[in-house]
Amino acid sequence: MMPDFDAIIAVTLAGFALSLTPGPSMLYVLSRSVGQSRSAGLASAVGLGFGGILLVLGTSFGLAALFERIDWVVPVLSYVGSAYLVWLGIGMIHGARDRARQTVYVDTVTKEPISEIVWQGILVELLNPKTVLFLVLFLPPFVSSDVELFSDQNGQLQLLVLGSLVPLTALPSDLAVALLGGTLARTINCRSKLREYSAYGCGLVLVAIALHLQM
């Protein structure tokens, strides 16, 4: 059984909302692109994507096994996941103005082989607690609440499909950062109002999705 279309749209919107706000992953790609080369930036983006897929695989199989054994986990995570989205959304809205005034800068990086950069990108994403929490707390509410689904492969399939949307929605912004590099950094720094309004919008999207989950 595939996830509902509404669930796919909601996860996609949430993924885009999170990927559009500058974070550790975006700054990592930017530092490689500007500090080393465009190819290095692209390699780091690919590494982050692979790391995200590995997280999705581990999360999906682990959560499916947990749901099969403990029937009350699904409804509990529905409330916890909604609260987590509201917390993320309000945090974006509350800090929008301050973050918009911050200057995005690139740290000096040591030049590495492309293969090493890909592995570093994988590790960066695997060790990113924000991504782990997002997958664990955000995905379950969008899977059917019928716990019997997890007695076969339906639950795992839904988690895999929805989870794969998270790294896929992040990939376009990471690739754009890698390709545009310093130009994008200068644009971000010069257009603080755009950053502020984007943060407001992304925060409101996450809060709206959280409210929709409880309707």
Type of residue numbered 137: L
How many structural domains comprise the chain? 1
DSSP string, 109-172: -----HHHHHHHHHHHHHT-HHHHHHHHHHSGGGS-S-GGGGGTTHHHHHHHHHHHHHHHHHHH
pLDDT band (50, 70, 90) for residue 47: very high
Maximal C-alpha separation, the chain: 53
Highest mean pLDDT among 129-133, 154-158, 206-210: 206-210
What is the spatial distance between Cα 128 and Cα 4, in angstroms, rounded to a whole number? 28
8 A C-beta contact, residue 162 and residue 60: no
8 A C-beta contact, residue 74 and residue 147: yes
With a pLDDT cut of 90, the percent of the chain lying above it is 4
Coil, strand or helix at 63: helix
Q: How far is CA 41 from the centre of its chain?
A: 18
With a pLDDT cut of 70, the percent of the chain lying above it is 75
Type of residue numbered 110: T
* Contacts (Cβ under 8 Å, ≥6 apart) of 123: 51
The 10s digit of each residue's pLDDT in 6-17 is 888 888 888 888
Whether pLDDT at 149 is above 50: no
The length of the chain, given as a count of residues: 215
Residue 160 CB: number of other CB atoms within 10 A? 19
8 A C-beta contact, residue 82 and residue 215: no
Whether pLDDT at 152 is above 60: no
Q: What is the pTM of this model?
A: 0.76
pLDDT band (50, 70, 90) for residue 119: very high
With residue 33 as reference, give the H or E element that holds it: helix 24-35
The 10s digit of each residue's pLDDT in 56-77 is 888 877 776 776 677 676 677 7
What are the Cα distances from residue 70, in Å, to 40, 56, 154?
44, 21, 17
Q: Which domain holds residue 113?
A: 5-213
pLDDT band (50, 70, 90) for residue 36: confident
pLDDT band (50, 70, 90) for residue 127: confident
Q: How far is CA 73 from the centre of its chain?
A: 23
